[in-house]
Structure 1
Amino acid sequence: MRIRDIIEGKKEWRAHVARVKALPQDYQIVYKEIQKYLFKVGPVELTEGTGLLSGIIDLFEEGAALGRGVLEVTGSDVAAFCDELIKDSKTYADIYQESANQEVNKAIKKATDKTK
Protein backbone atom coordinates (compact mmCIF):
# COMPACT_ATOMS: atom_id res chain seq x y z
CA MET A 1 0.00 0.00 0.00
CA ARG A 2 1.37 3.37 -0.99
CA ILE A 3 1.53 6.40 1.28
CA ARG A 4 -0.93 8.21 -1.01
CA ASP A 5 -3.44 5.36 -0.55
CA ILE A 6 -3.08 5.57 3.22
CA ILE A 7 -3.63 9.33 3.18
CA GLU A 8 -6.68 8.98 0.91
CA GLY A 9 -8.05 6.26 3.16
CA LYS A 10 -7.69 8.51 6.20
CA LYS A 11 -9.43 11.36 4.38
CA GLU A 12 -12.30 9.06 3.43
CA TRP A 13 -12.59 7.78 7.00
CA ARG A 14 -12.61 11.32 8.44
CA ALA A 15 -15.38 12.31 6.00
CA HIS A 16 -17.25 9.16 7.01
CA VAL A 17 -16.93 10.00 10.72
CA ALA A 18 -18.09 13.57 10.03
CA ARG A 19 -21.25 12.19 8.39
CA VAL A 20 -21.92 10.04 11.46
CA LYS A 21 -21.46 13.02 13.78
CA ALA A 22 -23.95 15.02 11.70
CA LEU A 23 -26.68 12.44 12.37
CA PRO A 24 -29.21 12.92 15.20
CA GLN A 25 -28.06 11.48 18.54
CA ASP A 26 -30.26 8.37 18.42
CA TYR A 27 -28.96 7.54 14.96
CA GLN A 28 -25.36 8.00 16.13
CA ILE A 29 -25.90 5.61 19.04
CA VAL A 30 -27.41 2.91 16.83
CA TYR A 31 -24.77 3.44 14.11
CA LYS A 32 -21.96 2.90 16.63
CA GLU A 33 -23.60 -0.29 17.88
CA ILE A 34 -24.03 -1.52 14.31
CA GLN A 35 -20.40 -0.72 13.59
CA LYS A 36 -19.24 -2.67 16.67
CA TYR A 37 -21.49 -5.58 15.76
CA LEU A 38 -20.25 -5.72 12.19
CA PHE A 39 -16.61 -5.47 13.26
CA LYS A 40 -17.16 -8.47 15.57
CA VAL A 41 -19.25 -10.56 13.17
CA GLY A 42 -16.96 -9.55 10.38
CA PRO A 43 -18.15 -9.46 6.81
CA VAL A 44 -14.88 -9.69 4.90
CA GLU A 45 -15.58 -6.73 2.63
CA LEU A 46 -16.25 -4.45 5.60
CA THR A 47 -12.52 -3.77 5.86
CA GLU A 48 -12.34 -2.86 2.18
CA GLY A 49 -13.29 0.80 2.24
CA THR A 50 -16.46 2.08 3.86
CA GLY A 51 -19.04 0.77 1.36
CA LEU A 52 -21.44 -1.05 3.69
CA LEU A 53 -21.02 1.48 6.48
CA SER A 54 -21.54 4.38 4.06
CA GLY A 55 -24.69 2.70 2.81
CA ILE A 56 -25.97 2.55 6.37
CA ILE A 57 -25.25 6.24 6.81
CA ASP A 58 -27.11 6.97 3.55
CA LEU A 59 -30.10 5.08 4.90
CA PHE A 60 -29.87 6.86 8.26
CA GLU A 61 -29.55 10.29 6.64
CA GLU A 62 -32.66 9.59 4.59
CA GLY A 63 -34.58 8.35 7.63
CA ALA A 64 -33.56 11.38 9.68
CA ALA A 65 -34.53 13.73 6.83
CA LEU A 66 -37.97 12.12 6.78
CA GLY A 67 -38.29 12.65 10.53
CA ARG A 68 -38.32 8.93 11.31
CA GLY A 69 -36.83 7.54 14.51
CA VAL A 70 -33.83 5.29 14.04
CA LEU A 71 -35.67 2.17 15.19
CA GLU A 72 -38.33 2.87 12.57
CA VAL A 73 -35.52 2.52 10.03
CA THR A 74 -33.73 -0.51 11.50
CA GLY A 75 -36.53 -2.20 13.41
CA SER A 76 -36.27 -2.94 17.12
CA ASP A 77 -33.83 -5.85 16.62
CA VAL A 78 -30.72 -4.06 15.42
CA ALA A 79 -28.64 -7.27 15.33
CA ALA A 80 -31.22 -8.87 13.01
CA PHE A 81 -31.04 -5.74 10.84
CA CYS A 82 -27.26 -6.20 10.62
CA ASP A 83 -27.56 -9.90 9.90
CA GLU A 84 -29.95 -9.16 7.06
CA LEU A 85 -27.47 -6.65 5.59
CA ILE A 86 -24.67 -9.21 5.52
CA LYS A 87 -26.65 -12.38 4.86
CA ASP A 88 -25.04 -12.91 1.44
CA SER A 89 -21.58 -11.73 2.51
CA LYS A 90 -18.68 -13.96 3.36
CA THR A 91 -17.68 -13.43 6.99
CA TYR A 92 -14.53 -14.16 8.93
CA ALA A 93 -16.55 -16.81 10.75
CA ASP A 94 -17.16 -18.51 7.39
CA ILE A 95 -13.45 -18.45 6.61
CA TYR A 96 -12.62 -19.84 10.04
CA GLN A 97 -15.20 -22.62 9.65
CA GLU A 98 -13.77 -23.56 6.26
CA SER A 99 -10.26 -23.58 7.68
CA ALA A 100 -11.26 -25.71 10.66
CA ASN A 101 -13.05 -28.19 8.41
CA GLN A 102 -10.04 -28.41 6.10
CA GLU A 103 -7.73 -29.06 9.05
CA VAL A 104 -10.01 -31.79 10.39
CA ASN A 105 -10.27 -33.40 6.96
CA LYS A 106 -6.47 -33.30 6.53
CA ALA A 107 -5.94 -34.84 9.95
CA ILE A 108 -8.48 -37.60 9.31
CA LYS A 109 -7.00 -38.33 5.87
CA LYS A 110 -3.50 -38.45 7.35
CA ALA A 111 -4.65 -40.78 10.14
CA THR A 112 -6.52 -42.98 7.64
CA ASP A 113 -3.49 -43.15 5.33
CA LYS A 114 -1.31 -44.33 8.23
CA THR A 115 -3.66 -47.21 9.01
CA LYS A 116 -3.55 -48.54 5.43
Structure 2
Amino acid sequence: MNFFEKITGSDMAKEYKNFELRAKKLPSDYQAAWEKINLYIWEHTDFTGRNLMPIINGVLELLEETSAEGQSAQEVLGDDIKGFCSALVGDEGANSFRDKWRQQLNNNIARKLGK
Protein backbone atom coordinates (compact mmCIF):
# COMPACT_ATOMS: atom_id res chain seq x y z
CA MET A 1 0.00 0.00 0.00
CA ASN A 2 1.45 3.34 -0.98
CA PHE A 3 0.97 6.70 0.70
CA PHE A 4 -1.78 7.84 -1.69
CA GLU A 5 -3.84 4.69 -1.12
CA LYS A 6 -3.47 4.99 2.62
CA ILE A 7 -4.56 8.63 2.68
CA THR A 8 -7.51 8.24 0.30
CA GLY A 9 -8.60 4.78 1.43
CA SER A 10 -8.75 3.55 -2.17
CA ASP A 11 -7.13 0.27 -1.16
CA MET A 12 -9.95 -0.34 1.33
CA ALA A 13 -12.60 0.52 -1.24
CA LYS A 14 -11.19 -2.09 -3.62
CA GLU A 15 -11.00 -4.68 -0.87
CA TYR A 16 -14.54 -3.97 0.27
CA LYS A 17 -15.88 -4.26 -3.28
CA ASN A 18 -14.26 -7.69 -3.44
CA PHE A 19 -16.00 -8.60 -0.18
CA GLU A 20 -19.34 -7.57 -1.66
CA LEU A 21 -18.74 -9.61 -4.81
CA ARG A 22 -17.91 -12.66 -2.71
CA ALA A 23 -21.01 -12.12 -0.56
CA LYS A 24 -23.28 -12.01 -3.62
CA LYS A 25 -22.24 -15.60 -4.39
CA LEU A 26 -23.62 -16.80 -1.04
CA PRO A 27 -27.11 -18.28 -0.56
CA SER A 28 -29.89 -15.81 0.23
CA ASP A 29 -30.01 -16.47 3.99
CA TYR A 30 -26.27 -15.85 4.19
CA GLN A 31 -26.63 -12.66 2.15
CA ALA A 32 -29.25 -11.40 4.61
CA ALA A 33 -26.93 -12.25 7.51
CA TRP A 34 -24.06 -10.47 5.72
CA GLU A 35 -26.18 -7.32 5.44
CA LYS A 36 -26.94 -7.42 9.17
CA ILE A 37 -23.29 -8.04 10.00
CA ASN A 38 -22.32 -4.99 7.94
CA LEU A 39 -24.91 -2.96 9.77
CA TYR A 40 -23.62 -3.85 13.24
CA ILE A 41 -19.89 -4.38 12.82
CA TRP A 42 -19.19 -0.84 11.62
CA GLU A 43 -20.23 0.46 15.05
CA HIS A 44 -16.83 -0.78 16.27
CA THR A 45 -14.64 0.98 13.76
CA ASP A 46 -11.93 3.50 14.34
CA PHE A 47 -12.11 6.55 12.08
CA THR A 48 -10.59 4.79 9.09
CA GLY A 49 -12.17 1.34 9.26
CA ARG A 50 -8.83 -0.37 8.71
CA ASN A 51 -9.14 -2.16 12.04
CA LEU A 52 -12.19 -4.06 10.79
CA MET A 53 -11.01 -5.21 7.37
CA PRO A 54 -9.27 -8.40 8.61
CA ILE A 55 -12.26 -9.17 10.84
CA ILE A 56 -14.72 -8.71 7.99
CA ASN A 57 -12.58 -10.94 5.79
CA GLY A 58 -12.63 -13.63 8.49
CA VAL A 59 -16.40 -13.42 8.85
CA LEU A 60 -16.86 -13.71 5.11
CA GLU A 61 -14.57 -16.76 4.99
CA LEU A 62 -16.63 -18.32 7.80
CA LEU A 63 -19.83 -17.71 5.86
CA GLU A 64 -18.35 -19.13 2.65
CA GLU A 65 -17.07 -22.28 4.37
CA THR A 66 -20.25 -23.01 6.30
CA SER A 67 -22.49 -22.39 3.30
CA ALA A 68 -20.37 -24.85 1.31
CA GLU A 69 -20.91 -27.38 4.10
CA GLY A 70 -24.68 -26.91 3.82
CA GLN A 71 -25.31 -25.28 7.18
CA SER A 72 -27.85 -22.50 7.52
CA ALA A 73 -26.82 -19.00 8.51
CA GLN A 74 -28.86 -19.25 11.70
CA GLU A 75 -27.02 -22.42 12.74
CA VAL A 76 -23.71 -20.64 12.32
CA LEU A 77 -24.48 -17.18 13.68
CA GLY A 78 -27.45 -17.77 15.96
CA ASP A 79 -30.29 -15.32 16.45
CA ASP A 80 -28.28 -12.44 17.90
CA ILE A 81 -26.13 -11.13 15.05
CA LYS A 82 -25.46 -7.87 16.90
CA GLY A 83 -24.11 -9.86 19.86
CA PHE A 84 -22.08 -12.02 17.48
CA CYS A 85 -20.45 -8.90 15.98
CA SER A 86 -19.76 -7.39 19.40
CA ALA A 87 -18.19 -10.59 20.66
CA LEU A 88 -16.17 -11.02 17.49
CA VAL A 89 -14.81 -7.50 17.51
CA GLY A 90 -14.14 -7.65 21.25
CA ASP A 91 -12.21 -10.91 20.90
CA GLU A 92 -10.10 -9.41 18.13
CA GLY A 93 -9.32 -6.34 20.23
CA ALA A 94 -10.59 -3.81 17.72
CA ASN A 95 -11.02 -0.55 19.57
CA SER A 96 -13.52 1.96 18.30
CA PHE A 97 -12.96 5.69 18.50
CA ARG A 98 -15.21 5.71 21.57
CA ASP A 99 -12.93 3.20 23.31
CA LYS A 100 -9.92 5.36 22.50
CA TRP A 101 -11.62 8.50 23.78
CA ARG A 102 -12.71 6.70 26.95
CA GLN A 103 -9.15 5.55 27.59
CA GLN A 104 -7.82 9.04 26.95
CA LEU A 105 -10.37 10.52 29.39
CA ASN A 106 -9.45 7.94 32.04
CA ASN A 107 -5.75 8.69 31.58
CA ASN A 108 -6.34 12.45 31.87
CA ILE A 109 -8.40 12.03 35.04
CA ALA A 110 -5.80 9.72 36.57
CA ARG A 111 -3.05 12.21 35.73
CA LYS A 112 -5.02 15.10 37.29
CA LEU A 113 -5.61 13.06 40.44
CA GLY A 114 -1.93 12.23 40.60
CA LYS A 115 -2.33 8.48 40.15
TM-score, normalised with respect to structure 1: 0.73
* Cross-structure match for 1:47: 49
**Could you say which structure has the larger radius of gyration?**
1
**Any gaps of 5 or more consecutive residues in structure 1?**
110-116
TM-score computed with the length of structure 2 as normaliser: 0.74
**Residue identity in the other structure for 2:41:** L
Alpha-carbon separation, structure 2, partners of 1:47 and 1:15 = 16
Larger CA deviation: 83-92 vs 71-80: 83-92
Q: Deviations over 1:29-74 (max 9, x none)?
A: 111211221111x154x82172111111110011111111101011
Note closer, same or farther for the CA distance 1:75–1:96 as it changes in structure 2 (3 Å cut).
Answer: same
CA shift, 1:98, in A, is: 1.0
Tell me, yes or no, if the aligned pair for 1:43 and 1:86 is still in contact at 8 Å: no
Q: What is the aligned-residue identity percentage? A: 25
Number of residues paired by the alignment?
A: 107
Residues 1:97 and 1:36: Cα distance change in structure 2 (over 3 Å):
same
Q: What is the CA deviation profile of residues 15-40 of structure 1, one whole-angstrom value per residue up to 9, with x for unaligned ones?
A: 11101111111111111211221111
Aligned partner of 2:103 in structure 1 is 98
1:34 aligned residue:
37
Distance 1:3 1:76 in 2: 38
| One of 77, 98, 113 as aligned partner of 1:74 | 77
- Structure 2 vs 1, CA of residues 23 and 99 (structure 1 numbering), >3 Å: closer, same or farther? same
Q: Which runs of 5+ in 2 are unaligned?
A: none
Matched, 1:14 2:13: no
Paired with 1:64 and 1:3, the residues of 2 have a C-alpha distance of 33
CA RMSD between the two structures = 2.7
Kindly tell me: are residues 13 and 75 of structure 1, through their superposed partners in 2, closer, same or farther at Cα, counting changes over 3 Å? same
Who is 2:4 aligned against?
Answer: 2
